[in-house]
Amino acid sequence: MTPPGAGERPLGFGLGLRAPHLDHVRRHRPDVGFFEVISENFMDCAGGRRRALDAIADRYPIVLHGVSLSIGSTDPLDFAYLSRLRDLADAVKARLVSDHVCWTGVMGRNTHDLLPLPFTEAALAHVTGRVRIVQEYLGRRLVLENPSTYVGFTASTMSEQEFMTRLAEDADCGLLLDVNNVYVSAANHDFDPVDYLDAIPLDRVEQIHLAGHTDYGTHIIDTHDGPVTDEVWDLYRRVTERDAGIPTLLEWDDRLPGFPVLEAELDKARRLAAKARRQPIPAGSSQVAANRWRAGGGHDG
């Protein structure tokens, strides 16, 4: 299947587009490579908010990011949902359509949460089959993100990174590498985030997410309510040293700051990628994140 955006200009560095900033973006046309919107927020949206999105889509590339595909559920695929998703993607000429490797509902009920899967051969086969159906229906490659997780399954027979890699290969789908989620899950499950990142095939990664989190001492939650932490920047730097050209997006969803704060945070990603292009470093080299993690046993607290 043709990769999303093939033959078009690179997306570069983007921001999650949230309702409080719609008017600012329309009036000021900030120097942002692309915007990402939550698919479900605009599927059935009409009126001023939808007109604002359409106007922005005329000027910027748009990517769609969903939270309700429930690709891992045992419920049948929701083709009414997929039809609305396809219509929205076509209307805004979406460069990417993404969601999460998770399940969000069962027996027709939506939990409104991104719940983890067991990493087993059976789960891999189940998700692979559903991804193929969704891609055929949408007429485009689906891009799937590693979610942050807080519980795991004793039945798992492989790591998450192996599951994601094999899913991308078996279903011929893309990956959305959320670096913050890798850090959060690594802290919660006591694995090495550097090993995780080094195992991911970056030729399958269509987009990177960066975001803030909250450290509660006993656990970390992916809250998207603050700046990217130094530890996550260190991990992102490691990724850029392998490939500095992957489209990168900053997510900030709660306690939303003014738009200039978002632009300044995005500039950090630009600078790291630019530095990596000028000074390539072998993927296996020791980095700050690896040293900090291995020496300190994970996050502080």
Query: How many Å apart are CA 192 and CA 296, to the nearest integer?
Result: 11
Q: Which amino acid is present at 19?
A: A
Q: pLDDT at position 3, please?
A: 57
Q: What is the pLDDT of residue 17?
A: 97
Q: Which two tokens stand for residue 246?
A: 């992957």
The amino acid present at 77, given as its one-letter code, is L
The distance of Cα 109 from the centroid of its chain, to the nearest Å, equals 24
- 5 vs 110, which has greater pLDDT? 110
Q: What is the CATH number of domain 13-296?
A: 3.20.20.150
Q: The whole model's pTM is what?
A: 0.89
Q: Measured between alpha carbons, how far is 169 from 204 in angstroms, rounded to an integer? A: 8
Instruction: State the DSSP string of 168-214.
Output: HHHHT-EEEEEHHHHHHHHHHHT--HHHHHHHS-GGGEEEEEE---E
Alpha carbon separation from 290 to 173, 207, 239, 297, 298 (Å, rounded): 29, 22, 12, 10, 10
pLDDT at 283 over 60: no
Confidence of residue 9 (pLDDT cuts 50, 70, 90): confident
Domain residue extents for the chain? 13-296
pLDDT digits (tens, 9 = 90+) for 228-237: 999 999 999 9
For the CA atoms of the chain, what is the radius of gyration? 18
> Is 70 exceeded by the pLDDT of residue 101?
yes
Q: pLDDT at residue 296 above 70? A: no
Residue 278 — very low, low, confident or very high, per pLDDT cuts 50/70/90? confident
The Cα–Cα gap between 16 and 29 comes to 15
Give the model confidence (pLDDT) of 180-229 as tens digits.
Answer: 999 999 999 999 999 999 999 999 999 999 999 999 999 999 999 999 99
DSSP strand pairing (103-106 vs 109-115): antiparallel
Of the chain, the end-to-end C-alpha distance in Å amounts to 45
Q: Which residue has the tokens 């200039």?
A: 260
